[in-house]
Structure 1
Amino acid sequence: MSQAATTAEGPEGRIPVLDIGPMLAGEPGAVDHLARSIARSCEDTGFLVLAHHGIPQPLIDGCFAAAAEFFALPEEEKLALAVGEINLGFLPTGAQVIRTSTIHRNTKPNLNESFYISHDYAPDDPAIVEGKPMVGLNRWPPNLPGFREATMAYYSAMRGLAQRMLPAFARALDLPPDYFKADFAEPSCTLRLIRYQPQPEAEADRFGFAPHIDTNFITFLAQSALPGLEVRTREGTWLRPPAIPGTFVVNTAEMLGRYSNDRFAPTPHRVVNNNRAMRYAIPFFFGPANDAVIKVVPSCTGPDNPPKYEPLLYLDHRLKLNRTNFAHRQAQASA
């Protein structure tokens, strides 16, 4: 296995801890002050930790509890909710190999099982009736009272927090605070519940989650009870983010890299669960609307820095990923 991870160097180290309370409270100058800290971190590790974010701890705990209850179900009950053409529902262990990774040749499946949740459409919603691509109905376990309510309450709160962070990321790129508003009017969001199997003994190229970059805009990760997340610096060493209860680890992803012409390039990360117990995670992935066209922003180009990327329809990006990284989609493509 790759080089062992080291602990981040505290609040002022490579992965900073940022107080976003003043910004959320609307204090004068708080957005720009936060934006400067975000810019420094995004130009280095691409990871930061958010404190005083306003999400009630019982909401976070409730989502973790719902994840544990779901994964404790008998396998046949989970498989009855298996993902279909799009990833909503249960993904068993062994069903995902990150083939799109550009920083590690991943050949072995991730050692985790997952449950995907997105916007909770009603069956008669026009988007469902019209069969819009990458839109579908969530798959809910019939025998887990409160599961839907706990996970959707968390989903809704995280979507709200992500939206409120957009002005700070815009200002970090020297853009007007509302620059991203139109592209995120109907954001593509996914809550992924994950259970990582223990791997106390090192095995070459086997990971809870293999080295990769996220493919959305930014990702929010509530602090897990057990360590496992590791971040690769530009120098090639692996760090663990500060494990501060009640905070969120946030990382930049591929679309922010494209918008910023790689000024805020996404940072590779992985999960290694070398604990002797199951590890749970509830990452929230925040991306643009499916019909958004991702273009390099004007503040990140110039005569000596032309755009590295052509405009990209976000829906096309999502469809390509869905076809590439998952065993069930590979099987469908070859049928």
Structure 2
Amino acid sequence: MKELPTGNGARLIKSGLDPVRVPFDQIPVIDLEPMFSGDADAKAALAESLRHACTQVGFLYIKNHHFPKEALAAAFAEAEQFFAQPDEAKMKNHVSKSSNLRGYAAMLEENTDPTARGDLHESFDIALDVPADDPDVLAGKVLYGPNQWPEDRPSFRKALESYHAEMIKLSHHLLHAFALALGLEETYFDAMVTKPLATLRVLHYPPQFGEIDERQIGIGAHSDYECFTILAQQMGIPALQVLNAAGEWIAADPMEDCFVVNVGDQMARWTNDLFASTVHRAINRSGKERYSIPFFFGPNYDTIVEVLPSCVDEDHPAKYPPISSGDYVNGRFTATFASYAEQQKDAATVV
């Protein structure tokens, strides 16, 4: 066993690279159709299933999510073409040229597991596109700001902006389901996500062969920082592994027409760990290049994330102090990305 630091405290995990292969029904499949149909009884049944998935597993698949297939296909196609470019072309939009962690990051630049040696993937990040003269940007809320784009790849920008916009729509439907699963009004969180910290990543994982150092894999063991993550995986290329309560790694292989959803740290803090923010990792031993597209959805920068009243009582006091969404996520990014940490350090020095 080893101890993995996360934003919500240390977690114990077993060593080894091989996941346990279990039937998919052990990672629940949730039918999201009732959130589009408006049927109250169907929504109530969905909420009960979602609550069970979030309390027992922290990971789930969603089907009937109404996400446009053409937007999904375009994003994967553009990601593959972007990452196939020479390094010097990709580095023109390196994250170091952005003050808010937008753009390209190369292999090993990210280290999600502080006990490891860097992640074997490259990425391109965008988020909510906020103009440089926006009051929140001028106020120094560092996770707001403009995206940066390759000047010679307009189709890449179009595909990712379209994907991001559609994910925002889906996230609102999913957040309504989360509210119902917590016994709240469906629109409880709406005022907190009018300007969300919503990051889209396209990722490329090269295959790993032979003996693999557990300290250097596609992406190291970690929990996500926001409310939830919606992940698109390519069919036939398994890599994602989820840590269960027994400290075993469970395979979360791609499922046709489904996204993977996992609870993030902020939702865990809101619910006093009633909803589990589950540790996960990715190891690409498929023999093929792997591309994935996670979307991280969290509340507005200034939203105070504190334990919901319904999730505390005399026997279950609040585990976490209140913290703003922006401060929490910014702190986790600083701990994960070395170049971003240097930027923040330099900015603090100037101030």
Query: Shorter-chain-normalised TM-score: which range?
Result: over 0.9
Deviation (angstroms), 1:130: 5.3
CA distance in 1, matches of 2:18, 2:141: 44
Structure with the higher helix share, 1 or 2: 2
Q: CA RMSD in A?
A: 1.8
**257-266 or 119-128, larger mean C-alpha shift:** 119-128
Question: When the two structures are superposed, what TM-score results if normalisation uses the length of structure 2?
Answer: 0.89
Asked if 2 retains the 8 angstrom alpha-carbon contact of 1:7 and 1:242, the reply is no
The answer to whether residue 82 in structure 2 is matched with residue 70 in structure 1 is yes
Deviation (angstroms), 1:30: 2.1
The answer to whether residue 219 in structure 2 is matched with residue 209 in structure 1 is yes
Give the number of equivalent residue pairs.
328
Deviation (angstroms), 1:127: 4.1
Q: 2:46 aligns with which of 34, 40, 44?
A: 34
Deviation (angstroms), 1:303: 1.4
Query: Which residue number in structure 2 is paired with residue 102 of structure 1?
Result: none
* 3-state SS of 2:179 partner: helix
Q: 1:86 aligns with which of 96, 100, 106?
A: 100
CA distance in 2, matches of 1:222, 1:74: 25
Asked if 1 retains the 8 angstrom alpha-carbon contact of 2:123 and 2:201, the reply is yes
**122-131 or 78-87, larger mean C-alpha shift:** 122-131
CA distance in 1, matches of 2:317, 2:132: 45
Asked if 2 retains the 8 angstrom alpha-carbon contact of 1:8 and 1:242, the reply is no
Query: Which residue number in structure 1 is paired with residue 116 of structure 2?
Result: 107
- In structure 1, give the amino acid aligned to 2:105: L
CA distance in 1, matches of 2:302, 2:141: 11
**280-289 or 235-244, larger mean C-alpha shift:** 235-244
Asked if 2 retains the 8 angstrom alpha-carbon contact of 1:86 and 1:322, the reply is no
- Unaligned runs of 5+ residues in structure 1 are 100-104
**Percent of aligned pairs sharing the same letter:** 35
The answer to whether residue 243 in structure 2 is matched with residue 239 in structure 1 is no
- Unaligned runs of 5+ residues in structure 2 are 1-14
Query: Which residue number in structure 2 is paired with residue 97 of structure 1?
Result: 111
Deviations 1:205-252 (A, max 9, x none): 221000000011000001323110010110111112252222100000
Asked if 1 retains the 8 angstrom alpha-carbon contact of 2:143 and 2:197, the reply is no
Question: When the two structures are superposed, what TM-score results if normalisation uses the length of structure 1?
Answer: 0.93
CA distance in 1, matches of 2:253, 2:340: 36
Asked if 2 retains the 8 angstrom alpha-carbon contact of 1:170 and 1:178, the reply is yes
Q: 1:183 aligns with which of 171, 189, 192?
A: 192
Query: Which residue number in structure 1 is paired with residue 169 of structure 2?
Result: 160
Query: Which residue number in structure 1 is paired with residue 234 of structure 2?
Result: 224
The answer to whether residue 20 in structure 2 is matched with residue 6 in structure 1 is yes
Deviations 1:268-291 (A, max 9, x none): 100000122211011000001101
The answer to whether residue 62 in structure 2 is matched with residue 50 in structure 1 is yes
Deviation (angstroms), 1:122: 4.0
Deviation (angstroms), 1:8: 3.6
- In structure 1, give the amino acid aligned to 2:35: M
CA distance in 2, matches of 1:158, 1:62: 14
Asked if 2 retains the 8 angstrom alpha-carbon contact of 1:263 and 1:300, the reply is yes
CA distance in 2, matches of 1:266, 1:60: 26
Deviation (angstroms), 1:69: 1.3
Asked if 1 retains the 8 angstrom alpha-carbon contact of 2:75 and 2:160, the reply is yes
